[in-house]
Structure 1
Amino acid sequence: MSTIAIADTQRTATPAVRTRLRLTRRGRVVLTTLAAVPLLVGVALAMLNGGQASAGDSASGGNHADFATVTVEPGETLWQLAEQTAPNADPRDFVQDVVSLNALDGSELQAGEQIAIPTKYATGE
């Protein structure tokens, strides 16, 4: 017994038929969710960061736009600056206010650096 191979002429003779992409309801939900998640994350981050900017001014109760500028002398510290500028104020409050106003990482100063001092200390209140 031998096997005879019959050529399938119909399959090779017809051109390839293009099938349209069909999305099921579940597929549309998945694609919509994948597109919406980054947008929602971006909106959430914008809301969180946007609130920080206004919270800084209202939390301290003062207006940071009023300040005097002082040039730091060699070897001068914030504590010495507090004693010179605001002798009647608590030096700890002065240092904290200057650090937060100037966005300093710590209380170290560099000679020649210009720092802002709140007006309430510059006027001696």
Structure 2
Amino acid sequence: MGAPDISRPSQGGRLRLTRRGRVVLVGLFLILAAGLAVALAPSSRASDPPGPAPTAVVLPGDTLWSVAERHRPSRQPFRVIAEIRRLNGLDDYTIHAGQRLKLPREE
């Protein structure tokens, strides 16, 4: 009696996973996906200081760009505009004279 030949796969080179192996692979995939989601998630706004947000009243002829430049001149206007839109729930870039806008806090 010779030793069994273990050098050849039993089914034409296909790798078969047991049920436990599949559970382990799915678990590893879910852990990897969760880690990736946490790493790519935007940072929380929980660090905003308490208290009322600073505001500005829109003047006739104002645009979001002019409001951003007038009230936060040291910051990039595109970022200030995005933050003004987020704080005020604006879907577009339209603002009206007399409208009161919440402004991002000074950094």
SS in 2 for 1:110: coil
Task: Find the counterpart in structure 1 of residue 48 from structure 2.
Answer: 63
Q: Which amino acid aligns with 1:73?
A: L
Give the structure with the higher percent helix.
Answer: 1
TM-score by length of 2: 0.53
Distance 1:82 1:61 in 2: 23
Report the alpha carbon displacement of residue 64 of structure 1 after superposing the two structures with TM.
Answer: 6.9
5+ unaligned residues in a row in structure 1: which ranges?
1-54
5+ unaligned residues in a row in structure 2: which ranges?
1-40
Distance 1:97 1:76 in 2: 17
TM-score by length of 1: 0.46
Of structures 1 and 2, the one with the larger relative CO (CA 8 A, separation 6+) is 2
Describe the shift of the 1:84–1:68 C-alpha distance in structure 2 as closer, same or farther (beyond 3 A). Answer: same
Describe the shift of the 1:78–1:62 C-alpha distance in structure 2 as closer, same or farther (beyond 3 A). Answer: farther
Percentage of pairs with the same residue = 32
Q: How many residues align?
A: 66
Question: For each residue in 1:52-87, what CA deviation from the matched residue of structure 2 results, as whole angstroms up to 9, or x when unmatched?
Answer: xxx99x634542755111110111001011111111
Report the alpha carbon displacement of residue 106 of structure 1 after superposing the two structures with TM.
Answer: 1.0
Higher-Rg member (1/2): 1
Please give the root-mean-square deviation of Cα atoms over the aligned residues, in Å. 2.4
Segments of 4+ moved more than 6 angstroms: none
> Is 2:90 aligned against 1:104?
yes
